[in-house]
């Protein structure tokens, strides 16, 4: 056991997967949960929480680890509510995919004797809600921590030990660099996916039935990405706007060069460009972050609909 009591604030995919992983590995003595919805709390109590509460403040009382698993836009409000009720020496972390906005929202509400260690698991599916979690979600996936320079080394090491025990690879980086990296590898790809699905939806020369019936793997995966939680992604784009706009600008420049090559019939440029980008895919497979198996290596189980 690494933490005697863990409080999960927000009970969606990430929090429920953490609970399943902690239970499977005997990593937490008690798992307490809170969510705004009574229905969500009831499901969580049945599936993975030892106890659920009707307020976030009650959930964090005497907790050794508190995990903020709510949308980025709600972090500040939750932090303000729980701050006065946190146990001295407790660790507070989060799972938001933007870090500077979370630090700005949460840190002012943290007592001096509480360890705030922002985090971000690079794992997920297009499913959400308390039924969507599974214990192996984090296996061989990266979990980034962005502790402040003055963060307590023992508290960081303890949190790292939990994440590793759940199967994750753990790395640390500063907050600003995290937000730039994620704009490249996650945020802008999601923006492109949402846009491409929107283009297909607005076209009049291709019917919706044709788009659905003839979806090849490329468009199919765009729709998978675009099915992600709209509240979460609204907050991501609003809170990481500078990095996202920077990378979108670079994407537009690359797209212009590609358009010109196609227009001019420059086959040599296209072949060289696609060869370079193909190598990145091979690198992802070699790093163990996907497989070369058919269907893009997706093997996550469907959510429990029971």
| CB burial of residue 216 (10 Å; 0-12, 13-18, 19+) | exposed
What's the pTM? 0.80
Percent of the chain having pLDDT more than 70?
Answer: 90
pLDDT number for residue 306: 37
- Asked if 231 and 72 count as a contact pair (C-beta separation under 8 A), the reply is no
In this prediction, residues 220-243 reach a mean pLDDT of 84
Domain boundaries, the chain: 3-173, 177-264
Cα–Cα distance measured from residue 100 to residue 179, given in angstroms and rounded to the nearest whole number? 7
Looking at per-residue pLDDT, the higher value among 10 and 306 belongs to 10
Q: Is the pLDDT at 282 greater than 70, yes or no?
A: yes
The total of other beta-carbon atoms located within 10 Å of residue 117's CB is: 21
pLDDT digits (tens, 9 = 90+) for 133-168: 999 999 999 999 999 999 999 999 999 999 999 999
- Asked if 126 and 228 count as a contact pair (C-beta separation under 8 A), the reply is yes
Cα–Cα distance measured from residue 57 to residue 34, given in angstroms and rounded to the nearest whole number? 9
**Average predicted confidence (pLDDT) for the chain:** 89
> pLDDT band at residue 212, thresholds of 50, 70 and 90?
low
The region of weakest confidence among 167-171, 190-194, 227-231 is 227-231
Largest CA-CA distance found in the chain, in angstroms, rounded: 67
> 3-173 sits in which CATH class?
alpha beta
Residue in 77, 137, 89 with CA at minimum distance from that of residue 113: 89
pLDDT number for residue 207: 65
The CA dihedral of 127, 132, 134, 140, to the nearest 10 degrees, is 20
pLDDT digits (tens, 9 = 90+) for 5-58: 999 999 999 999 999 999 999 999 999 999 999 999 999 999 999 999 999 999
Residue in 145, 137, 140, 134 with CA at minimum distance from that of residue 169: 140
177-264 under CATH 1.20.140.10, yes or no? no
């Amino acid at each position: 056991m690494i933490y005697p009591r863990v409080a999960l604030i927000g009970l969606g995919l990430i929090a429920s997967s953490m609970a399943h992983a902690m239970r499977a590995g005997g990593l937490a003595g008690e798992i307490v949960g809170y969510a705004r919805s009574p229905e969500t709390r009831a499901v969580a109590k049945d599936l993975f929480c030892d106890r659920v509460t009707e307020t976030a403040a009650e959930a964090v009382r005497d907790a050794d680890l508190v995990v903020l698993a709510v949308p980025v836009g709600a972090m500040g409000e939750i932090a303000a509510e729980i701050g006065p009720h946190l146990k001295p020496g407790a660790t507070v972390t989060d799972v938001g995919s933007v870090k500077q906005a979370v630090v700005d929202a949460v840190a002012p509400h943290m007592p001096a004797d509480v360890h705030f260690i922002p985090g971000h698991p690079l794992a997920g599916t297009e499913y959400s809600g308390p039924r969507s979690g599974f214990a192996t979600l984090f296996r061989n996936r990266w979990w980034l921590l962005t502790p402040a320079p003055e963060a307590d080394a023992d508290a960081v090491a303890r949190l790292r030990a939990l994440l590793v025990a759940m199967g994750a690879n753990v790395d640390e980086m500063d907050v600003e660099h995290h937000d730039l990296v994620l704009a490249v590898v996650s945020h802008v790809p999601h923006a492109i996916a949402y846009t491409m699905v929107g283009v297909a939806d607005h076209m009049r020369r291709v019917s919706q039935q044709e788009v659905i019936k003839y979806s090849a793997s490329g468009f199919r995966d765009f729709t998978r990405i675009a099915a992600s939680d709209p509240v979460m992604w609204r907050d991501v784009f609003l809170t990481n706007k500078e990095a996202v706009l920077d990378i979108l600008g670079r994407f537009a420049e690359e797209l212009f060069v590609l358009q010109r090559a196609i227009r001019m019939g420059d086959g040599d440029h296209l072949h060289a460009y696609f060869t370079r980008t193909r190598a990145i895919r091979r690198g992802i497979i070699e790093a163990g972050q996907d497989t070369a198996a058919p269907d893009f290596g997706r093997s996550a189980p469907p959510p429990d609909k029971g």
